[in-house]
Structure 1
């Protein structure tokens, strides 16, 4: 029969209600153990908010009205997987009708809690507390294998589901057999953040200073005549980027895995805002038309596999040398190698002046740490700050349940005196800050709904952010990118907060 969906839904709810990490790990480990070899991969995927089929062709409109829920719990996770297969495979004439029928059939068999869970899963929005660290630790606990073995296997496999299946079926030996496979995406290496890293250079160790583009991370695989392209989140976008496929296909090697970035550019060569690149790579419109209207520049910066040889554990300096011998200069990321903080600072300033995000400082001896952040790569970006006013606050979930967490941020419109929302953030808040603001914002409350407390616009907060982007979501037409709290400004009143004109000036509008 297989594992009932209801058991997974109950565990998901228990995870949200459980703040302790070890307790979460225990809940997931028990569920994985009980799932057995037939269902463990599906259970691990669904608890990780991953649908194995990736694209189901189902959106908000399809799920806005749910059928009458079932009164008995009969659905299994394999029933869900079978329905998802039908949804994902539907194509061409009549596909809309097929999806509608299959979706109605699936949801009519689900109880009310199961319906809500499935809707969230299909839309990628289930809050269930089984984040990556919890899931990997739970796999190790359930299978009785070292956590390090699970972590490396997931980095190379990309997802937790096949690793859970291998670990429970074959233990450490099965995990060690998981390696890099050309045409299967692996998790990309990530950069840490340390703005002072250039100033800290002492002149006795050379570093690679590399342009940081505000584009789409791109992992390119080639095997013979087949090319596949994946994003940072491991979504495949091969059919949307024909010019990149042509570039990779022409490289003089049979089997390749490359890491890089692609960005839309203006006629003068400067990068477009991130949303332009995001829209281009996300669009399902005619790719040949898009390549004319929104040209892309692709820059590769790492080589992970070449003709049967994995290069992940080789030093970066060697990987770069082999990359340079393979990829033409116009398709390689701009970089310098230096031990001089002065030269590195000048290169950083040049990149920012040219419209790029900043630089990444790399250790030439570092291996490719797939899926991890570390000291081998460190990003340096100019930091912008604004003093904004809190307009509302949302109640937290998980570890932050019971506290006011996600703050709505507003800038002052000097023409009207009103505050215009520019986005939200819960990043950068300490436990002490959460406790303080929970009390503070209830003192300023004007009204509330089920999850938001609206407040008098009096409290000023200093916000750091990476960029300002156009947005149709907010009335000012702008939104802060990667906003995070630095501190609350008790020394400033709301009429001293930054204005919309200041925000526009930062962006250059």
Structure 2
């Protein structure tokens, strides 16, 4: 398969907002890929390199003379997916003394072999700025269509493997290979997500009497795996942080079991047992040093001593969890009546937490999906939005990047949809951080604004939304203010434009 075919499909996907058209273009391309090409094509069209980040930025690319090395023209037939990926693998492998010169030579030869359109595609892929709308859910459906595999089987394989490329390869090999992807202790599972509820009553009415209500902490999501004495701790983005959290490792090693996979949250507490600011909890994810101790609170058990529980109802998983780790269980109440549910919510708020999660006791663990089986209830409206840019401040804020441009995720895979701006809630320390950090994510700028690649997620508190022709989504935030940045989330975890629109008065 040629690189040009991948570039053409990328352009076609970016040019339409129709999910059906996007899926058709992707599946048509994937059908034409060989077994050794399919994982690479899938990775590229979801904005990832099979080699991971390989240390090439815009500055490195700008210094490259794109003319072919020594004036020799590379055969146009060589610009296949296989050839380009081989050059990227060689580039990634170069390190140590003399590697800078050799990496520059490889990159120069690669870019010299490409057309302008191909060069632009590869450049954006290298720096992590490829946004053509092929999000994970869309690619899962395209893989299923291209390989004639059941969509549910592809989704499950992706949930358990965490790898779209690996899932695509298995789907091409057939149903047996796809079904052979199972839960593996030590390999993170994509986390199950919750949808926002309008109120406690609305969540209870939606889910019925067979529910559990749990505290929703102002902490960070963790997933822990243990096999014997070997323990791994992962974040919600599946990044391993084991070496940074020895106290969590010690807790898991002390549980009365041989192997386990647990889902939960962690946070730092004051001496009075109240949650410390979220930023203090996140600071521990990068370093094991410091006086703050992280405390785990588990709310799900996916595996125990050789038995997978992921398909069991939540009630069964909670029974196992409460027997295994009662001292580290998230505060919860099962089958509450209306008064008990309200009292549990009030207790969570009084303790300094965000609110409660209301969950269906009959639900299996559906990783990576925001279904209605788990619903979160908070006393104020909050949204996780993507930072699209920031305007230079004036007056006291002269010299600082201040007024944020905020976008909601397009559920159909397009670019984030702008829904408002805010400069409220930005303390001096946060203004200084933004001014230093934002240029690292810059896509372009003008005299007033620095525009960013959609990589940073910020949690916004707001009074509601209103209809507005000012922004392309048709809605605007009311009295938005910054609560905190979410380094534990990516743009794929941001709230969608549909979620924002659902907050309109009178809309369900």
What's the TM-score bracket when you normalise by the shorter of the two chains? Answer: 0.7 to 0.9
Change (3 A) 1:320 1:103: farther
CA distance in 1, matches of 2:426, 2:304: 36
* C-alpha distance in structure 2 between counterparts of 1:59 and 1:178, whole Å: 35
Could you tell me which of 487, 490, 506 is aligned with 2:466? 487
Query: Counterparts in 2 of 1:352-501, with a 5 A limit?
Result: 352-384=349-381, 421-427=402-408, 470=430, 472=432, 474=434, 481-482=459-460, 486-487=465-466
Alignment match, 1:347: 344
Distance in 2, matches of 1:305 and 1:199, equals 32
Equivalent pair of 1:384/1:466 in contact (CA under 8 Å): no
- My pick for the range that moved more, 203-212 or 310-319, is 203-212
User: Following TM superposition, by how much is the alpha carbon of 1:197 offset from its aligned partner in structure 2, in angstroms?
Assistant: 3.6
Segments of structure 2 that go 5 or more residues without pairing to the other structure are: 412-416, 438-456, 470-476, 485-508
Contact 2:406 2:420 in 1 (8 A): no
Distance of 1:28 and 1:108 partners within structure 2: 29
The equivalent of 2:107 in structure 1 is 106
Instruction: After superposing the two structures, state which structure 1 stretch, 155-164 or 46-55, moved more.
Output: 46-55
Deviation at 1:165, TM superposition (A): 0.9
Q: CA deviation at 1:195?
A: 2.5
- Are the counterparts in 1 of residues 197 and 203 from structure 2 also a CA contact under 8 Å? no
CA offsets 1:148-190 (integer angstroms, 9 cap, x no match)? 22122211221221111111222x3322222111111221111
C-alpha distance in 1, partners of 2:41/2:138? Answer: 14
Q: Is the 8 A contact 1:315 1:367 kept in 2?
A: yes
Corresponding residue number in structure 1 for 2:232: 228
Q: How many pairs does the alignment contain?
A: 442
Partner of 2:267: 263
Give, in whole Å, the separation in 1 of the partners of 2:481 and 2:310. Answer: 42
Q: CA deviation at 1:85?
A: 4.8
What RMSD over aligned residues (CA atoms) do the two structures have, in Å?
A: 4.4
Partner of 2:367, secondary structure, is coil
Q: Within 5 Å, give how 1:25-36 maps onto structure 2.
A: 25-36=23-34
CA drift at 1:129: 1.3
CA distance in 1, matches of 2:406, 2:315: 38
- How far apart, CA to CA, are the structure 2 residues paired with 1:503 and 1:22? 36
Provide the C-alpha distance between the structure 2 equivalents of 1:106 and 1:266, rounded to a whole number of angstroms.
51
Going from structure 1 to structure 2, the CA distance change for 1:466 and 1:4 (only over 3 Å counts) comes to farther
Given that 2:91 and 2:106 are in contact with CA atoms closer than 8 Å, whether structure 1 keeps it comes out as no
Which residue of 1 is the match for residue 249 of structure 2? 245
**Which residue does 2:66 correspond to in 1?**
68
Give the conservation status (yes or no) of the 8 Å contact 2:381–2:461: no
Select the residue among 306, 309, 322 that pairs with 2:307.
309
Quote the offset at 1:199 in angstroms.
Answer: 5.3
Mapped partners of 1:332, 1:466: distance in 2: 33
For 2:503, the equivalent position in structure 1 comes to none
Counterpart for residue 447 of structure 1: none
1:249 to 1:274, Cα distance in 2 relative to 1, 3 A: same
Deviations 1:304-355 (A, max 9, x none): 01121110111111111111222251x3222222422222223223323333
Distance 1:204 1:473, change over 3 A: closer
What SS does the corresponding residue of 1:257 show, helix, strand or coil?
strand
Structure 1 Cα separation of the partners of residues 201 and 63 of structure 2: 54
Aligned residue among 310, 322, 325 for 1:324: 322
1:425 to partner: Cα distance: 2.0
Is 2:188 the counterpart of 1:185?
yes
In structure 1, how many angstroms separate the alpha carbons of the residues matched to 2:348 and 2:254? 29
- Do the aligned residues in 2 keep the contact of 1:195 with 1:380 (CA within 8 Å)? yes
1:332–1:87 distance in 2 versus 1, CA, 3 Å = farther
The CA deviation at 1:131 is 1.3
Deviation sequence 1:402-459 (CA, Å, 0-9, x none): xxx979799999x99xx994422233999xxxxxx99xxxxxxxxxxxxxxxxxxxxx
In 1, the alpha carbon distance for the partners of 2:356 and 2:155 equals 28
Q: Is the 8 A contact 1:462 1:488 kept in 2?
A: no
List per-residue Cα deviations over 1:250-269 (Å, max 9, x = no partner): 32222211111222344544
Aligned residue number for residue 177 of structure 2: 174
Give the structure 2 partner of residue 205 of structure 1.
209
List runs of 5+ in structure 1 lacking aligned partners.
387-393, 395-404, 431-436, 439-459, 491-496
Tell me the TM-score normalised to structure 1 length: 0.73
| Alpha carbons of structure 1 residues 52 and 184: separation in structure 2 relative to 1, 3 Å | farther
State whether residues 405 and 420 of structure 2, in contact with CA within 8 Å, keep that contact through their aligned partners in structure 1: no
